[in-house]
Amino acid sequence: MKFLTAVVIIGIVIWYIDFMSPEKRKKRKEKFDAFTKGYEEKIARSNLMAETIGNISTIVISIGLLSAVVDNVPLVAATQGMYDLAQYPTDHFFWEFLAYCAGTGGSALIIGSAAGVAAMGMEKITFFWYLKKMSWLALIGFFSGALIYILQDMILH
Q: What is the DSSP string of 33-71?
A: HHHHHHHHHHHHHHHHHHHHT--HHHHHHHHHHHTTTS-
30 and 10, same domain (yes or no): yes
Question: If you average pLDDT over residues 52-67, what whole number do you get?
Answer: 87
8-state DSSP, 134:
T
Confidence of residue 19 (pLDDT cuts 50, 70, 90): low
Confidence of residue 98 (pLDDT cuts 50, 70, 90): very high
pTM of the model: 0.67
Ranges of H-type helices in the chain: 2-15, 22-52, 56-66, 72-82, 93-105, 114-123, 127-133, 135-156
pLDDT of amino acid 26: 73
Whether 40 has a pLDDT exceeding 60, the answer reads: no
87 and 150, same domain (yes or no): yes
63 and 90, same domain (yes or no): yes
Structural domain span for residue 146: 54-157
Which burial class, exposed, middle or buried, applies to 105 when counting CB atoms under 10 A from its CB (0-12, 13-18, 19+)?
buried
Confidence of residue 33 (pLDDT cuts 50, 70, 90): low
pLDDT of amino acid 42: 58
Closest CA to 78 of 115, 120, 38: 38
43 and 108, same domain (yes or no): no
Closest CA to 95 of 70, 78, 72, 76: 76
68 and 143, same domain (yes or no): yes
33 and 98, same domain (yes or no): no
Count CB-CB contacts under 10 A for residue 86: 6
Total domains, the chain:
2
102 and 140, same domain (yes or no): yes
85 and 9, same domain (yes or no): no
67 and 103, same domain (yes or no): yes
Closest CA to 132 of 106, 104, 101, 109: 109
72 and 149, same domain (yes or no): yes
Confidence of residue 73 (pLDDT cuts 50, 70, 90): confident
